[in-house]
């Protein structure tokens, strides 16, 4: 009985102690061994850092006009690609069962029927013009068209790995990036407009690619950024870029680029990818966890990021600050494209696209 009364008294005592003093008490028990002014100071600083970590990543929330469009499919849409503000394409599907492809002629307001173009999910699109383009997919499926997507030739690339991104710098030089799990990746490069592809294997899953200039191209993925200065013939890992599963990269200019990770990291370069500055750290134990999926910039200053649970960030000052759009959907968003400095389109789960202005 006496022990229970002591325990009850101790609980009542703790209830009267402020949160900061309680943290100091934890530090005494765990690290210091005896309560002292020093331990209190340490706990006070720790508590302040905790509060800072909980608020540092909070962003101003803004209301932006959204027009939700249900396309002609309910499958997940992974990529949108636009030749101009009107002519565009989207692809997606179900990982193991179908890859779908659609077209729009009015900037995403309406879409063609969702055509099944491959037996597995499709991930990335590139069109050179309205006639000729490529689509990549799960398990190395690859489609091409030269008749305005009326018909697709279907091929099977040798890696037997999903290819998540496809980027061309011009009509000849292109790369594809893919992988599986965490420790298996592939990069294909072409110097003849996709007529033939050279494949190289890597030790990390690779998710995204971006061209800096005609010869310099970058590919990123699980904790790694690879750099090529010869249009994809050879690659080296960047020494200072790590700490996240990188999902997308873009270069609005030859000097300015941005790289985002699934765990929330945002990096920026101002010298063509030689060095990178951290704009936002990856998720920590205290912060609300966010997951980023795609990024696009219209110019050096104006950009957007989308992610899981309808997350959208907007910047108009080259990433110095980001504003968060008030949640307009709880669906995961997998790609974003900016038409100009004031409007764009995002796509994601359930065959939805979202036209937005900011």
pLDDT at residue 9 greater than cutoff 90: no
Give Cβ neighbours of residue 70 (< 8 Å, ≥ 6 apart). 351, 352
120 against 9, higher pLDDT: 120
Mean pLDDT of 250-275: 98
pLDDT at residue 147 greater than cutoff 60: yes
- CA–CA distance, 231 with 240 (Å, rounded to integer): 22
Mean model confidence pLDDT for the chain: 89
Mean pLDDT of 61-80: 97
Phi and psi dihedrals of 328, rounded to 5? Answer: -115, -5
Mean pLDDT of 246-270: 98
| Encoded tokens for 143 | 């489609």
pLDDT at residue 41 greater than cutoff 70: no
The pLDDT value given to residue 287: 77
The pLDDT value given to residue 145: 98
Sketch the domain layout of the chain as residue ranges.
2-55, 61-357
Q: Decide if 164 contacts 138 (C-beta within 8 A).
A: no
The pLDDT value given to residue 57: 57
CATH superfamily of 61-357: YVTN repeat-like/Quinoprotein amine dehydrogenase (2.130.10.10)
The pLDDT value given to residue 58: 72
pLDDT at residue 55 greater than cutoff 80: no
- CA–CA distance, 232 with 187 (Å, rounded to integer): 8
Mean pLDDT of 222-246: 98
- CA–CA distance, 21 with 210 (Å, rounded to integer): 51
| Encoded tokens for 176 | 């594809």
Long-range contacts of 51-60 (CB under 8 A, 24+ apart): 53/284, 53/286, 53/287, 54/286, 54/287, 56/287, 57/264, 57/280, 57/281, 57/287, 57/288, 59/313, 59/321, 59/322, 59/323, 59/324, 60/321, 60/323, 60/324
Determine the 3-state secondary structure of 309 from DSSP.
helix
> Which of 158-162, 226-230, 298-302 comes out lowest in average pLDDT?
158-162
- CA–CA distance, 55 with 73 (Å, rounded to integer): 39
Mean pLDDT of 125-149: 97
> Which of 17-31, 81-95, 185-199 comes out lowest in average pLDDT?
17-31
> Which of 77-81, 281-285, 310-314, 348-352 comes out lowest in average pLDDT?
281-285
pLDDT at residue 355 greater than cutoff 50: yes
The pLDDT value given to residue 272: 98
The pLDDT value given to residue 159: 86
pLDDT at residue 298 greater than cutoff 80: yes
pLDDT at residue 338 greater than cutoff 90: yes
The pLDDT value given to residue 52: 45
> Which of 29-43, 101-115, 297-311 comes out lowest in average pLDDT?
29-43
pLDDT at residue 54 greater than cutoff 90: no
């Amino acid at each position: 009985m006496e022990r229970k009364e002591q325990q009850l008294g101790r609980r009542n005592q703790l209830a009267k102690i402020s949160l900061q003093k309680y943290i100091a008490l934890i530090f005494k028990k765990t690290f210091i061994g005896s309560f002292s002014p020093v331990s209190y100071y340490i706990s006070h600083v720790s508590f302040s850092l905790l509060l800072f970590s909980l608020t540092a990543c909070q962003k101003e929330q803004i209301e932006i006009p959204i027009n939700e469009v249900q396309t002609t499919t309910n499958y997940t849409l992974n990529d949108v690609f636009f030749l101009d503000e009107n002519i565009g394409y989207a692809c997606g599907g179900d990982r193991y069962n179908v890859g779908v492809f659609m077209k729009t002629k009015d900037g995403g307001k309406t879409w063609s029927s969702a055509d099944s173009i491959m037996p597995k999910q499709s991930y990335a699109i590139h069109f050179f013009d309205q006639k000729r383009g490529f689509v990549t997919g799960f398990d190395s499926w690859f489609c091409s068209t030269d008749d305005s997507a009326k018909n697709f030739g279907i091929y099977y690339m040798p890696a037997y790995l999903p290819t998540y991104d496809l980027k061309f710098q011009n009509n000849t030089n292109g790369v594809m990036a893919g992988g599986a799990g965490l420790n298996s990746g592939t990069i294909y490069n072409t110097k003849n407009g996709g007529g033939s592809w050279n494949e190289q294997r890597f030790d990390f899953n690779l998710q995204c690619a971006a061209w800096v200039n005609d010869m310099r191209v970058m590919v990123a993925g699980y904790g790694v950024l690879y750099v090529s200065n010869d249009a994809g013939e050879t690659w080296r890992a960047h020494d200072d870029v790590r700490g996240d599963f990188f999902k997308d990269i873009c270069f609005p200019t030859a000097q300015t680029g941005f790289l985002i990770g699934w765990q929330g990291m945002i990096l920026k370069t101002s010298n063509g990818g030689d060095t990178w500055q951290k704009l936002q750290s990856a998720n920590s134990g205290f912060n609300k966890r966010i997951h980023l999926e795609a990024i696009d910039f219209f110019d050096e200053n104006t950009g957007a990021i989308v992610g899981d649970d309808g997350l959208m960030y907007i910047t108009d000052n080259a990433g110095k600050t980001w504003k968060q759009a008030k949640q307009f959907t709880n669906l995961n968003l997998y790609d974003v494209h900016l038409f100009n400095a004031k409007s764009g389109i995002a796509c994601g789960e359930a065959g939805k696209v979202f036209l937005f202005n900011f």
